[in-house]
Chains A and B, each alone.
Chain A
Amino acid sequence: MSTFGIVRDVVAGQLGRNPGDFQSDTDLTEAGFESLDVIETLFAIEEKFGIAINYNANEGLAGSSMTVGDLVRMVDAELEKKRQTGQ
């Protein structure tokens, strides 16, 4: 499955919704994410991919948005780093 497919499933699972409801440009806050949903989702994604995503909740200031596609880009960047370092 693609990174997008896995991330979409995790996001949908977090909200108890159908994965088909989510596109790359789906805004997580608009979809119903609250403060703890973001960090729980990041944790689940890290576990699935065996990566660590460098994300500080203070950088996502209140009111700023994050999409499913943003998550996919974070994962792909970490996967690329992992590939390059061979870890």
Chain B
Amino acid sequence: MTDRAVKRVAITGVGMVSAAGHDVASSWEAVRDGVTAIRALHGIARQDYVSCRIAAQVADFDPASHFPARRLSALDRFSQFAVVAAREAFAQSGLERDSQDVREAACIVGVGVGGIGTLDDSYYRLYGEDTMRMHPLTVPRLMFNAAPSQVTIDLGIKGMSYAVGSACASGTHAIGQAFLMVRSGAVKVAVAGGSEACITAGTIAGWEALRVLSSDTCRPFSKNRNGLVLGEGAAMLVLEDFDHATARGATILAEVIGFGGNADAGDLTSPDETSIAAAMSLALRDAGLDPGQVGYINAHGTGTAINDQTEARAIRQVFGEAPPPVSSSKGVLGHCLGAAGAMEAVVTVMALARQVVPPTANCTEPDEALGIDMVPDGPREAHLGAAMSNSFAFGGLNAVLIFGKV
């Protein structure tokens, strides 16, 4: 029988592909310095179908430099990102590919829209061009679970593996699920995160119809904020039984110490202040922390009028009138939907590891009425013991992670 004692959960590897760079170092540097990676929309098929002209796209990503041609034909862009990020995290962890630890590991990946590029192209051919033929790998490319499947194939993972879908909270839920599995003793190692490649004409048109996209840039918590900007990328983390990681001499970047989540059961797209405050409180309770022990909050912070207002109120509800510094990474990385929570989890882990609070980029007119310190002026050195990362999805599904310094 498996040892069911509660385990501490270490993070022994992180990986990222983002608009700011193809690894954690370059992505973190951009977030830490508040350098936006939102640029003019470029290089997508049927770009003229949309009026939105900006996105946080992963630039200069050459799939052929990461995958042989034969393998690439089965890989949608969102799976490519997931595998590249997972390889980075795995390499940092120092785990051996063919070891029993890895064979028994879990792999859980948060996905918002899945292989939407494959879907967009295939349906355009079928209905737009009246081409009665589909590529034979259309289905395995676009399926939601393609990202975790491809990561397991790449790393030789044979434990329980699946995709998690909760829109903009998917990555956070995936890491939370992996955390619970390692903490319970069900697995010693889990590779978890989120991946998204949603910059297609069809996706952007859908978001335009919701009328929440910014026309120039994403300015979280700024008075002049006017909407979100779509982004793409992936982030993956290696979660590991703390004692196991220590015993093999692994470098531990931080710990996962709390996970909370809930559902608004209300409006489909507007966040619910009471509900998201409750999600934060659940994560604090799970971590056994008082609010005062959290030194930094990486906000959902989409840069829409209503999210930022509601999230700030909820933070004050939980943390009182002088909450810890709060910043959003979306002014740099854009809103990467199913990958966002995982990318922001990595940012939060880096903040703890480096003892730096990253700023909110593009917050040129801090909205003082929100009553939070949104770190508009640049990075700050800090003594952080614990930090929180928030994700609140369309559909009212909320997830919150808390990480601890080691």
Give the B-binding residues of A (Cβ under 8 A): 34-36, 39, 42-43, 55-62
Chain A residue at minimal CB-CB distance from B303:
A58
Q: Mark B226-259, 1 if CB is under 8 A from A, else 0.
A: 1100000000000000000000000000000000
- CB of A61 within 8 A of CB of B267, answer no
- CB of A43 within 8 A of CB of B306, answer no
- CB of B305 within 8 A of CB of A58, answer yes
- CB of A56 within 8 A of CB of B226, answer yes
> Which B residues lie within 8 Å of A59 (CB)?
226, 305
- CB of A58 within 8 A of CB of B226, answer yes
Give the A-binding residues of B (Cβ under 8 A): 209-215, 225-227, 267-270, 304-306, 309-310
Among A35, A56, A60, A62, the most chain B Cβ lie within 10 Å of the Cβ of A56
Tell whether A35 pairs with B270 under 8 Å between CB atoms, given A58-B305, A62-B305.
Answer: yes
Tell whether A36 pairs with B309 under 8 Å between CB atoms, given A56-B226, A58-B212, A59-B226.
Answer: no
* Shortest beta-carbon contacts, A-B, top 9: A58-B305, A57-B211, A35-B270, A58-B227, A58-B226, A61-B305, A62-B306, A57-B212, A39-B211
Summed over the interface, the residue pairs from A and B with CB atoms below 8 Å come to a total of: 47
Q: How far is the CA of A52 from the CA of B267 in the complex (A)?
A: 26
- Least CB distance from A51 to B in Å reads 14
- CB of B304 within 8 A of CB of A58, answer yes
- Least CB distance from B301 to A in Å reads 14
> Which A residues lie within 8 Å of B305 (CB)?
57-62
Q: How far is the CA of A55 from the CA of B210 in the complex (A)?
A: 10
- CB of A62 within 8 A of CB of B309, answer yes
Q: How far is the CA of A62 from the CA of B269 in the complex (A)?
A: 13
> Which A residues lie within 8 Å of B269 (CB)?
35-36
> Which A residues lie within 8 Å of B212 (CB)?
56-58
- CB of B211 within 8 A of CB of A35, answer no
- CB of B267 within 8 A of CB of A34, answer yes
Q: How far is the CA of A55 from the CA of B211 in the complex (A)?
A: 7
Which of B225, B268, B304, B309 contacts A57, CB < 8 Å?
Answer: B304
Q: How far is the CA of A43 from the CA of B209 in the complex (A)?
A: 8
Q: How far is the CA of A58 from the CA of B303 in the complex (A)?
A: 9
> Which A residues lie within 8 Å of B225 (CB)?
58
Q: How far is the CA of A39 from the CA of B268 in the complex (A)?
A: 13
- Least CB distance from A70 to B in Å reads 15
Which of A36, A55, A62 contacts B268, CB < 8 Å?
Answer: A36
Q: How far is the CA of A35 from the CA of B215 in the complex (A)?
A: 20
Chain A residue at minimal CB-CB distance from B210:
A39
> Which B residues lie within 8 Å of A36 (CB)?
267-269
Chain B residue at minimal CB-CB distance from A53:
B211
- Least CB distance from B335 to A in Å reads 13
Q: How far is the CA of A24 from the CA of B406 in the complex (A)?
A: 62
A–B complex contacts, Cβ < 8 Å, 22 sampled: A34-B267, A34-B270, A35-B267, A36-B269, A39-B211, A42-B211, A43-B209, A56-B213, A56-B215, A57-B210, A57-B212, A57-B305, A58-B226, A58-B306, A59-B226, A59-B305, A60-B305, A61-B305, A62-B305, A62-B306, A62-B309, A62-B310
- CB of A39 within 8 A of CB of B209, answer yes
> Which A residues lie within 8 Å of B215 (CB)?
56
Chain B residue at minimal CB-CB distance from A34:
B267
Chain A residue at minimal CB-CB distance from B213:
A56
- Least CB distance from B47 to A in Å reads 18
> Which A residues lie within 8 Å of B270 (CB)?
34-35
Chain A residue at minimal CB-CB distance from B266:
A34
> Which A residues lie within 8 Å of B267 (CB)?
34-36
Given contacts A56-B213, A59-B305, 20 further A-B contacts (CB under 8 A): A35-B267, A35-B268, A35-B269, A35-B306, A39-B211, A42-B211, A43-B209, A56-B211, A56-B215, A57-B212, A57-B227, A57-B304, A58-B212, A58-B225, A58-B304, A58-B306, A61-B305, A61-B306, A61-B309, A62-B306
